[in-house]
Chains A and B, each alone.
Chain A
Amino acid sequence: MKRSPLHQTNAALGARFVDFGGWEMPVQYESVLAEHRAVRNSVGFFDVTHLGRFELTGPGAHHAIRKLLCNDIERVEPGHSQYTMILNESGGIIDDMINWWWAPDEFWVLPNAANQQRVMDAFAAQPGCTLADLQMSTVLIALQGPHAKDVFEDILGAAPGRFRLVRTEWEGGCISMAGTGYTGESGGEICTDPNTGVKLTEALVEAGVTPCGLGARDTLRLEAGLALWGEDIDETTTPYEAGINFAVSLDHEFVGRETLVRQKAHGVGRKLTGFVLQDRGIPRHGYKIRTSAGGRGDVTSGNMSPMLGTGIGMAYISPPPDMEADAIEVEIRDRWVPGRLATPPFHKV
């Protein structure tokens, strides 16, 4: 099992660990609910060193990015990051990822932990691309919450704007960061060397920032309506079925485009849809859902919303439901629990 260079620091902070994609990572410190609320109301940090990341350079880098990914990097410019996906020929999502675009021919690609090798292999097969794995030589820390900007400025002297990249020196180390995250709150993700990462973690704790584990990261991303690869999206689902339309640009050629053009013209047969339960019960992955209009589907993610205090989830519903008109029920242990459709972020509905 791989361990983050921050493992000892996390353990000293009271972390409990879980196996996540071959990494032993903090699942919680004090309490998932307390950590969740800290990020919604104030600020928290997460060790996300398990996430994939590699550097992509070379004369073919920019072309490979445009050819393999369904969002168009030309929508932004160097100095920005972008959410995007790599699709198979049928439009299925091989992985979703964030790209950090440093310079015309210099990218950092951040796939999901489980897909690092596969995504690296796809880029390595493209001409003119040079890859360097960053996963084992760096740490990645997410700083998230409405007060994150203050913490960035107080400790690091700079805060990345939304999707912006910043590089700075701190305590003798090089800090690279992007205004991104996976919680629905503002903040950023910080990549640095292990020694600087330990010092930064200590500085964050000193500043009163709450250490958070992957348990809270999951409830936060679900409440924000952010899809999780392997749960809500995978190679059998397309971006349009998953409702991730904002990260598709049909204006350029890319692998999987034909399916998406067809789905855009004819519509999708099922759609990943958010819902909120109106009675007690917690929806979980694999539970059945039905709509008042006869739609059927399966829950892909579900939990209790710590901010709403009710069960929330996402499900592929076929045919796509009428968000305004249709009521839903989720089968929880032989009981159909009533609910309503809702467009995330759930805590702002």
Chain B
Amino acid sequence: MQIPEGLLYNHEHEWIQRKDGSVVRIGVSDYAQDQLGDVVYVELPVDGSTVAKDDLLVEIESTKSVGEVYAPFAGTVVAVNQAVADSPELVNTSPYDDGWLVEIDVAGGFSEAGLLDATAYKDLTE
């Protein structure tokens, strides 16, 4: 199971990568994609939409189940990865790179409070 250093994680098995300023990139962890199984459909939010913390952000469907990604922060969606809508299997094959999901400009600025580093997240998955 890959858990790259340098990313932050939460208890919902999402990873968060800090980009410029208050913008973060969000995806699901290797553990999450492994649990989901073959991903066959990803429904992304509309670029530019505003989300509240814990709003439904992305739906990920596998051959076995429907998985939900909730917004880890309130903010504005500033980018969506159209490539995963076209090729949902990217979530399985490249969860941390090509399979990223959305970028959010966090309302009120980004804070690491409550997030886990790679070591702490590894403990969570074991």
Shortest A171–chain B CB gap in Å is 34
Please measure, in the bound complex, the distance between the C-alpha atom of A306 and the C-alpha atom of B40, giving whole angstroms: 9
In the complex, what residues of A have CB within 8 A of residue B63's CB?
Answer: 32-33, 36, 215, 219, 303-304, 306
Please measure, in the bound complex, the distance between the C-alpha atom of A280 and the C-alpha atom of B64, giving whole angstroms: 17
Quick one: CB contact mask for A211-231 with B, threshold 8 Å, 1 for yes?
000010001000000000000
Shortest B77–chain A CB gap in Å is 17
Q: Is B98 on the interface with A (CB-CB < 8 A)?
A: no
Q: Is the CB–CB distance between B43 and A31 below 8 Å?
A: no
Decide: A31 near B66, CB < 8 A? Known: A282-B61, A333-B43: no
Q: Which of A327-345 contact B (CB under 8 A)?
A: 333
Q: Which of B44-62 contact A (CB under 8 A)?
A: 59, 61-62
Please measure, in the bound complex, the distance between the C-alpha atom of A341 and the C-alpha atom of B38, giving whole angstroms: 26
In the complex, what residues of B have CB within 8 A of residue A33's CB?
Answer: 38, 40, 63
Shortest A20–chain B CB gap in Å is 12
Q: Is the CB–CB distance between B41 and A31 below 8 Å?
A: no
Q: Tell me if A's interface is mostly helix, strand, loop or mixed.
A: mixed
Q: Is B85 on the interface with A (CB-CB < 8 A)?
A: yes
Q: Is the CB–CB distance between A304 and B41 below 8 Å?
A: yes
In the complex, what residues of B have CB within 8 A of residue A333's CB?
Answer: 43, 59
Please measure, in the bound complex, the distance between the C-alpha atom of A282 and the C-alpha atom of B38, giving whole angstroms: 14
Please measure, in the bound complex, the distance between the C-alpha atom of A272 and the C-alpha atom of B41, giving whole angstroms: 25
Q: Is the CB–CB distance between B37 and A32 below 8 Å?
A: yes
In the complex, what residues of B have CB within 8 A of residue A306's CB?
Answer: 40, 63
Q: Is the CB–CB distance between A304 and B40 below 8 Å?
A: yes
Q: Is the CB–CB distance between A28 and B41 below 8 Å?
A: no
